[in-house]
Amino acid sequence: MTPRGLLAAAAVQLAEAGVASPEADARLLLAHVLAVPLGRLPLVEAVDADHQEQYAALVARRAARVPVQHLTGTAAFRHVELAVGPGVFVPRPETELLAGWAVEQLRARVAAGEEPVVVDLCTGSGAIARALADEVPQARVHAAELDPGAHAWAERNLAGTGVVLELADLAAAFPELDGGVDVVVSNPPYVPLEAWESVATEAREHDPHLALFSGDDGLDAIRALEVRAAALLRPGGRLGFEHADVQGASAPAVLTATGRWAEVRDHRDLAGRPRFTTARLAR
């Protein structure tokens, strides 16, 4: 059978199941089954029976709303590829913008002749920490994750990168670095408990709840992050963290209410939705 026919049928099946990106996921899964780069998929002339059977099984699981990254075992994040699966939050494309902001902050320090120190709290799969180590090799990168299952994935993804990884709560990580960190970055849990039904099926059923939900208003982890970042950062150090699109006002307000932060600014994602907050430690 031709790839075109398989892809068309799979896309219809996934669309009917409510998958948000049926055509893209159909292509990813077929490239995975055939072990070819996605860009070379159009060059495949035919798919044999064994591969068709494997593909049908994966498409059925995706139609059941298993994350496509769990089916392929990998997730792309900026310029790196991460191993992911059950027990760890799958990194989202929106978070690449926050990582890019952190890269810019660190590169500015390197250009000034410094060896910057950065801490990634709630690292999950290690996505942000891995990207920072990859793009700013001069930086000293530290990462912390509370959940043992997610920490195991981070260990795998950060092996050999030089990143210092710790199994720790964001509220208590790396006390030995207090007052000496240039950048703190985090993608903390931020979904309000009352918003359970609004969370995508893939996330609600397959991402760890510890990585998703954070109190009645979704801001509990951000409040703890504000306190810990203020202790970790040197005067003038920078904090950046992701939040829900409905928290474009409430998340920055967590910082402004304390009086510890200057240049508090919220940033939008590529779809124009409020996505992450940055600030400078004023004291």
Q: Strand ranges (DSSP E) for the chain?
A: 74-77, 80-83, 117-121, 140-145, 164-167, 181-186, 233-242, 261-268, 274-281
Q: Chain centroid to CA 276: how far?
A: 12
Q: Tokens representing 79?
A: 């310029």
Which of these, 39, 14, 30, lies nearest to 71 by C-alpha position? 30
Question: Is 42 assigned to a binding site?
Answer: no
* DSSP element (H, E) containing 16: helix 3-16
How many angstroms separate the Cα of 104 from the Cα of each of 55, 89, 275? 41, 25, 17
Is 190 annotated for ligand binding? yes
Are the CB atoms for 175 and 194 separated by under 8 Å? no
Task: List the beta bridge partners of residue 266.
Answer: 277
Distances (CA, A) of 216 to 117, 188, 206, 277: 33, 15, 21, 20
Do β-strands 261-268 and 181-186 pair in parallel, antiparallel, or remain unpaired? unpaired
Can you count the helices (H) and strands (E) in the chain?
10, 9
Residue 55, annotated as binding a ligand = no
Q: Does residue 187 have a known ligand-binding role?
A: yes
Alpha-carbon distance 163 to 141, whole Å? Answer: 5
In DSSP terms, which residues pair with 262 in a beta bridge?
A: 280
Which is nearest to 29 in space by CA: 64, 73, 84? 73
Annotated binding site: 145, 187-190
Report the binding-site residues for S-adenosyl-L-methionine. Answer: 145, 187
Annotated binding residues for substrate: 187-190
